[in-house]
Structure 1
Amino acid sequence: MPRIEPLNPPYEPEIGEALRTWMPPGVAHDPLQLFRVLHRNPELASRMRVLGAGLLAHGKIPDLDREIVIARACALSGCAYEWGVHAATFAGAVGLTGEQIRATVTGDPAPWSAGQRTVIRAVDELHEHAAISQETWKALAEHYDQAQLLEFVVLAGWYRTIGQLANSLELDDEPWATPFPRT
């Protein structure tokens, strides 16, 4: 049971409209629990949506790399909730295999290219040290321009924040989400 109960329908009209903007068109399931809890504070939810939607829909990092960053940041935070949502919703669409999505949790380097291992190493360094080493930064800079490098750091930090939020709220996994691998 979440520490803050998600809103349930029927929603106030402005909340219902706001929740619709958080979900992609044509999605068959209800708005995510995370979104319904955040709308207990609509002003905060509105501010968070701008950054979250911008990173997902208008980012400069390639979609595949974006989802590797998100999955690894969520895995390192132990956030089964958000990891499972992204694994179910985005992983296959961007080309992540089942082996790769599991490896974001287990740390297995086998399914990754050299560039993808650099992405994972950078997320690991941010998680452990709140900084990226000079060596890893240089390797990232071979593939990303300055705008992408800035976005990379914000993306990893944003999903650590989302992981902390979902974990602290003790959200139940979405019923359709991919189960978090137990290592």
Structure 2
Amino acid sequence: MSQRHEAARPARPRLKPLPEEQWDPRTRELLAAAPHDPGGGIPNIFTTLVRHPDLYERFLPFGGLLLAGGRLPGEVRELLILRTAWNTGARYEWGRHLPLARAAGVTDAEIDRIGEGPEAPGWTDLQRHLISAADELHEDATMSDATWEGLAGHFGDAELIEVVMLVGQYQMVAFFLNATGVELEPGFDSTGFPEGNGSG
């Protein structure tokens, strides 16, 4: 992370979750459809984003499709999301997706080496191409022939499209989280995410 990016990060939330006493009937209806945590709480990302209800209403189905209804295997999806969280310094995104990644079969050893990039020893060929894809899309807004062809050896056209859209979606989400300063809820940690890699 560059010093310029670090300096731009808010020290405290710029936008706080909308307090329940300010929820109008439409807000209640929108948030009722949001994924809830085991204790019944609604994640801060949703109670903050709902401050723009029209955008929220259209965002949720698209994000939900990529997260729960996409064609990519869960461990593939979560590796891409965690590397995107790492690349963008999105601590909230990292912390929320650690349990999802573990549930999808991503091992602690794999989580530990996400920050080391695609050349870290231990990755399979597919995993190395996935990490490279997240990096190249983040840095260059495209993918090299070698990375595309490496992924095409494992996936069909629809899955290749989904890889690109997934990284783009979670990069956009990271922009929102980092710029507004959404705070990670109690009970979620950011294990493996280095100090100085963003507080969102």
TM-score by length of 2: 0.84
Tell me: CA distance 1:32–1:115, structure 2 relative to 1, closer, same or farther (3 Å).
same
State the match for 1:103 in structure 2: 113
RMSD (CA atoms): 1.7
Provide the C-alpha distance between the structure 2 equivalents of 1:28 and 1:106, rounded to a whole number of angstroms. 34
TM-fit CA distance, 1:29 = 4.5
Match of 1:152 among 163, 166, 179: 163
State the match for 2:33 in structure 1: 21
TM-fit CA distance, 1:174 = 1.8
In the TM superposition, 1:8-87 aligns within 5 A as: 8-10=19-21, 11-24=23-36, 27-87=38-98
Match of 1:134 among 125, 140, 145: 145
Provide the C-alpha distance between the structure 1 equivalents of 2:79 and 2:154, rounded to a whole number of angstroms. 15
TM-score by length of 1: 0.91
- Unaligned regions of 5+ residues in structure 1, if any? none
TM-fit CA distance, 1:109 = 2.1
> Does the 8 Å contact 2:48/2:182 carry over to 1?
no
SS in 1 for 2:33: helix
Percent of paired sites with the same residue: 34
Tell me: CA distance 1:111–1:14, structure 2 relative to 1, closer, same or farther (3 Å).
farther
TM-fit CA distance, 1:16 = 2.3
Tell me: CA distance 1:41–1:111, structure 2 relative to 1, closer, same or farther (3 Å).
same
Q: 1:61-100: per-residue Cα shift (whole Å, max 9, x none)? A: 1111000011111110000011110113x01110111221
Tell me: CA distance 1:30–1:106, structure 2 relative to 1, closer, same or farther (3 Å).
farther
State the match for 1:179 in structure 2: 190
Moved more, 15-24 or 156-165: 15-24
- Unaligned regions of 5+ residues in structure 2, if any? 1-11, 196-200
Provide the C-alpha distance between the structure 2 equivalents of 1:177 and 1:157, rounded to a whole number of angstroms. 24
TM-fit CA distance, 1:152 = 0.6
SS in 2 for 1:23: coil
Equivalenced residues, count: 181
